[in-house]
Structure 1
């Protein structure tokens, strides 16, 4: 039996719906790093403008490094019309980054025209996976994080919470413990967290753990 295609909660709903139409077994949850996971393959999806912005802000190669550290087979999907690279102010920078990813970082880059084609590519990757593929960790903890980074990392594990919302929550409540013990009403008062997100966060924090505990057996 194939392992599910794990989709990050921040990925577009239309890609998720297209994957379901393609009969892909989808498991939607928070992932860090990456946007999709198929067995040992960790996938980062970047639309062309996002790729350029990450490059300008010097975040691209840090994101790729984390992806490579977290998964045995990292993969980058570049989404958009590649011909548009020539319309950017510094097209040579984008082309140079693509060369560096492939040649220096050894991270394959696959291109798609749009979200529909991205979903189709993901379905092909999912269907080609080894049926015995192992499930890998879906959150990667970078080494040597500061206390502030560790706090954000913990809060980013909540449903639909990215870096910006994690900062907002920590600034409002003052500590990770206070965030985790906040009521749904208190969460709703935080900028960019509406009733839906607040309810889901409160539900997850208050839900009993239903996983099967593994017993440690001696030799």
Structure 2
């Protein structure tokens, strides 16, 4: 019997999902601290599981976009399992807002899989792992790093204080590269459109910070 290996983030232990997956005789579930996603099953697949309540909450607090972009940056096949019906909650979200969120995920190349409950989620994760590791003979738990692109460069810059997508784009256009931004002085950073002196100083402090 070929054993299937699934890496599960330790936070998933609380809901009982991991215990359901472990009932399979041909599965070895490793409880780890995944930096991205909830389950890594091989073949470049990373899975983020969201209940309807968590999905709506992640949109409100801003986690949603960041999680999706990190999955897309680090894995070739990001998947979001939406558990339970996002349209049947008592949320004040409009149909347009929910539809827009789903459409944005699809546009990012994220596979969206609906699941009526935790048992169905366990089955989906199991068969995704089996397909990746047995049927497709593809065992690696993490995909090869994607080629360096402008998207990657903007993603790095958005880690700086007060830098969002628009500011990252302006920084790249002004300095031409991430290296150019990182070697700039605070005064040079403040010359970029809509980057004030206080923000430039904070950015420079982060860039030049040293341990100890």
* TM-score between both structures, scaled by the size of structure 1: 0.59
Q: Name the Cα RMSD after superposition.
A: 2.8
Q: Which moved more, 1:29-38 or 1:114-123?
A: 114-123
Shift of 1:2: 5.4
Q: Look at both structures and tell me which one has the larger radius of gyration over its CA atoms.
A: 2
Q: Which residue of 1 aligns with 2:85?
A: 81
Q: Which residue of 2 aligns with 1:111?
A: 114
SS of the residue 2:37 aligns to? coil
2:23 to 18, 21, 24: 21
Instruction: Judge conservation of contact 1:2–1:130 (CA < 8 Å) in 2.
Output: no
**Structure 2: distance between partners of 1:130 and 1:136:** 9
SS of the residue 1:50 aligns to? helix
**Structure 2: distance between partners of 1:22 and 1:81:** 27
- Map 1:7-156 → 2, pairs under 5 A: 7-13=8-14, 14-23=16-25, 24-39=27-42, 40-85=44-89, 87-91=90-94, 92-102=96-106, 104-131=107-134, 132-137=137-142, 143-144=156-157, 145=159
Alignment deviations for residues 33-55 of structure 1 (CA, whole Å, 9 cap, x no partner): 10000111011111111110111
**Structure 1: distance between partners of 2:22 and 2:70:** 28
* Residue ranges of structure 2 left out of the alignment (5+ in a row): 146-154, 162-210
Instruction: Judge conservation of contact 1:9–1:28 (CA < 8 Å) in 2.
Output: yes
* Residue ranges of structure 1 left out of the alignment (5+ in a row): 148-175, 178-219
**Structure 2: distance between partners of 1:123 and 1:51:** 22
Q: Which residue of 1 aligns with 2:171?
A: none
SS of the residue 1:19 aligns to? helix
In structure 2, do the counterparts of structure 1 residues 42 and 96 end up closer, same or farther at CA, with 3 Å as the change threshold?
same
**Structure 2: distance between partners of 1:136 and 1:117:** 22
Shift of 1:25: 2.0
**Structure 1: distance between partners of 2:3 and 2:78:** 19
Instruction: Judge conservation of contact 2:4–2:130 (CA < 8 Å) in 1.
Output: no
